A and B are shown apart, each in its own frame.
Chain A
């Protein structure tokens, strides 16, 4: 059983479990599935700064912070106890392109060449950590939700605005991956 769990899971298994999170949260306490709101609750709890947007009862939403803490713990457990010893198997075409960016290490979920503390004070770190993170936090809130809130919760409840948001997430991602990242890697290398 453990051996089976160690292998990377098929997309359908992941999809089913992630999909079941929607009814699980609804039935456990009328909670709507979403994750980017946790970032807002952190703002509301730590630095509301008299901004109207953060003047709500964040304590009522603390369940969401328990949920994201669980995500971090779950990821820790999976990496500690259910890690597949082999390299992550990425499509050859993607590997060929990434090799051109100087990325060759597939031993972990993230490329160690980019995501390491040594890069923090470099242009690479500035773009991948600071700018990237800022765009995620700013964009998800401006869009009113992220992949979980719009693409899964919103589409599951057939909200057409969530479909618009999801299409824009994808368009942004296609532009970023195929037009911006090649330029970024060319510039920082």
Chain B
């Protein structure tokens, strides 16, 4: 990463989930994301995708369950995006929805393999980590702390890794 990147450029480095709104709102506007998160968290528990057992099942090819959840989510997501693009649906604030194409980076291979190994051990990708803690497995707070440490170490040595 070079020195003269803007804050937005830095934020968009190695990231999918960015805030592309130009608007600024009081903090309580964020409560709607809390609400979406609550629905999401309930769904995580009730479909058992945060279960370490379900992850084992998936990677042992013993059950279709996880493939069904992820596959359906992708189809529903893709149709939604298609509709938003086709009918130029705007946000609730009237902003145009912003899409961008991501460039390939070798990190997607190396990082992807590293994450996959961790995913099967912990039984959790980052979302389920939060759900497992909320669901009563307080020990997973240690896992989350270690995941934050992993992200920090990546940030610290990023320039020395192949990209």
Query: Contact residues of A with B, CB < 8 Å?
Result: 5, 8-40, 42-43, 47, 49, 51-57, 60-64, 66-79, 82, 88, 90-91, 93-94, 97-98, 106, 108-111, 114-117, 119-120, 125, 127-162, 164-178, 180-181, 184
| CB-CB nearest in chain B for A70 | B37
Is the beta-carbon distance between A135 and B115 smaller than 8 angstroms?
Answer: yes
CA distance A119 to B11 in the complex (A): 37
Looking at the assembled complex, report how far the CB atom of B87 sits from the nearest CB atom of chain A, in whole angstroms: 12
Is the beta-carbon distance between A175 and B36 smaller than 8 angstroms?
Answer: no
CA distance A181 to B52 in the complex (A): 13
Known: A64-B17, A70-B37, A144-B14. A155 touches B78 (CB 8 A): yes
Is the beta-carbon distance between B116 and A115 smaller than 8 angstroms?
Answer: no
CA distance A23 to B11 in the complex (A): 22
Is the beta-carbon distance between B52 and A109 smaller than 8 angstroms?
Answer: yes
Looking at the assembled complex, report how far the CB atom of B92 sits from the nearest CB atom of chain A, in whole angstroms: 6
Is the beta-carbon distance between A11 and B68 smaller than 8 angstroms?
Answer: yes
Mostly, the B contact residues are: helix
Is the beta-carbon distance between B36 and A25 smaller than 8 angstroms?
Answer: yes
Is the beta-carbon distance between A27 and B84 smaller than 8 angstroms?
Answer: yes
Is the beta-carbon distance between A93 and B127 smaller than 8 angstroms?
Answer: no
Mostly, the A contact residues are: helix
Is the beta-carbon distance between B108 and A165 smaller than 8 angstroms?
Answer: yes
CA distance A176 to B62 in the complex (A): 16
CA distance A125 to B121 in the complex (A): 11
| CB-CB nearest in chain A for B8 | A56
Is the beta-carbon distance between B77 and A144 smaller than 8 angstroms?
Answer: no
Looking at the assembled complex, report how far the CB atom of B41 sits from the nearest CB atom of chain A, in whole angstroms: 2
Query: Please, which residues of chain B bring their CB within 8 A of the CB of A54?
Result: 152, 155
**Inter-chain pairs besides A30-B91, A82-B46, A140-B151, 5 sampled, C-beta below 8 Å:** A71-B134, A75-B132, A133-B150, A142-B114, A152-B73
Interface centre among A73, A75, A173, A178 (most CB of B within 10 A): A75
Known: A19-B72, A73-B34, A161-B105. A115 touches B137 (CB 8 A): yes
Is the beta-carbon distance between B119 and A149 smaller than 8 angstroms?
Answer: no
CA distance A154 to B16 in the complex (A): 7
Query: Please, which residues of chain A bring their CB within 8 A of the CB of B130?
Result: 35, 38, 68-69, 71-72, 75
Is the beta-carbon distance between A173 and B131 smaller than 8 angstroms?
Answer: no
| CB-CB nearest in chain A for B31 | A66
Q: Which of B90-104 contact A (CB under 8 A)?
A: 90-93, 95, 97-99, 101-104
List 10 A-B residue pairs with CB atoms under 8 Å apart, sorted by A's residue number.
A8-B46, A30-B95, A35-B17, A70-B34, A129-B143, A137-B146, A157-B78, A172-B115, A176-B119, A177-B60
